[in-house]
Amino acid sequence: MKTPSRLLATLFLATATTTATLSAHAADLLDGVKSRGTLRVALEGTYPPFNFKDKGELAGFEVDLAKLIATKLGVKAEFTTTEWSGILAGLSAGKYDVIINQVGVTDQRKQAFDFSEPYTISAPQLILRKNETREFRNLEALKGLKLGVGQGTNFEQKAKATPGVEVRSYPGAPEYLQDLAAKRIDAALNDSLMVNYLVKTSPLPIKPGAPVGDVEKSAIPVVKGNPQLLAALNKALADSFKDGSFKTVSVKWFGVDVSKAPSER
């Protein structure tokens, strides 16, 4: 009986030590950014029109925004594409400096990361089949019905928090849109800005549904303990709001200034 509990204790200790080591870091990330001359930015690269690959090159609203912020910091932007399911973990592990990928500001995430000022304010919106006759005014109206969401997104968490809704988690938008058209799910949930783009570009018979839930803010997460980098990012954002460079980028992709709430646009 001695050997198994000893093994367990060693395994426990090994896990704890590794986790502790991973969260330890010395200097502020801003120093690294300045000395390298690059701001390491992570994004998915599979999320048009926010960030995607156009003929192999990264393009999109957030790619332009990242380049704008990097210029204001006096450095260049260096991009890493990674799957959503691992992106926040990579930030914690110090693989990159920031994520600029429509990261919604939630209380849970605020416990692990510091967020910059929000640069996108939008609301979640339903996506329905084109011939859908039922009206869904809010998430509760989907009680007993199937709702498709992306795995690991805050839309998934929102959907799961609504009682009675059967949540189906998909690897990405193409998959749940396919199933929506095939009548396997009754509705899908994503961001308003995304929904408009999806309906416009997808060949499937879908239409936008009602905006549901509260307006949400997306900002740039940074690992805790880097106040200088956070301050520098906020200054860069504030400057871009003031001198109109942010508005130019936003209007280019969405036709509106997304840093303002939908009601103020």
Partner 1 sequence: MELLDLWELFRDAAPILLKGCGYTLMFALGAMVGGTVLGFPLAIARVLPNKALRGAAAAYVSMMRGTPLLVQVFVIYYGLPSIGIEFSPFTAGLLALSLNAAAYLSETLRGALNGVSRDQWAAGYSLGLTYAQALRFVVLPQALRTALPGMSNTLISLIKDTSLVSVITVTELMLATKELIAATFRPLPLYLAAAALYWLMSLAFERLQAWQEKRLNRAHAR
Question: In 3D, which of 106, 68, 62, 76 has the Cα closest to residue 88?
Answer: 106
| Residue 105 DSSP one-character state | -
12 binds partner 1 (CB under 8 A): yes
CB of 162 to partner 1, least distance (A): 16
15 binds partner 1 (CB under 8 A): yes
22 binds partner 1 (CB under 8 A): yes
Question: What is the bridge-based pairing of β-strands 98-99 and 38-43?
Answer: parallel
Binding letters toward partner 1, positions 44-83, x by CB under 8 A: ----------------------------------------
Quick one: which of 62, 97, 114, 156 contacts partner 1 (CB under 8 A)?
156
205 binds partner 1 (CB under 8 A): no
Q: Mark 150-170 as b/e (b = at least 16 C-beta within 10 Å).
A: bebbbbbebbeebeebebbbb
Q: Would you tell me how many other CB atoms lie within 10 Å of the CB of residue 17?
A: 10
* Distance from C-alpha of 94 to C-alpha of 80, rounded to nearest angstrom: 12
Report the site for partner 1 in 242-261 (rule: CB under 8 A): none
Quick one: which of 27, 89, 215, 231 contacts partner 1 (CB under 8 A)?
89
DSSP characters over 122-190: E-EEEEEETT--S---SGGGGTTSEEEEETTSHHHHHHHTSTT-EEEEESSHHHHHHHHHTTSSSEEEE
20 binds partner 1 (CB under 8 A): yes
Quick one: which of 152, 213, 225, 262 contacts partner 1 (CB under 8 A)?
152
* Distance from C-alpha of 136 to C-alpha of 105, rounded to nearest angstrom: 26
3-state SS class at 42:
strand
Q: Would you tell me how many other CB atoms lie within 10 Å of the CB of residue 242?
A: 9
Q: Which is nearer to partner 1, 77 or 198 (CB)?
A: 198
175 binds partner 1 (CB under 8 A): yes
CB of 102 to partner 1, least distance (A): 15
Number of residues that bind partner 1 (CB under 8 A): 31
Question: What is the bridge-based pairing of β-strands 46-47 and 187-191?
Answer: unpaired
- The stretch near partner 1 (CB under 8 A) out of 127-135, 165-173, 193-201, 240-248 is 165-173
- The stretch near partner 1 (CB under 8 A) out of 9-17, 73-81, 123-131, 256-264 is 9-17
Please report, as ranges, the residues that interact with partner 1 according to CB under 8 A.
12-13, 15-16, 18-20, 22, 85-86, 88-89, 92, 108-109, 111-112, 151-153, 156-157, 168-171, 175, 178-179, 182, 184
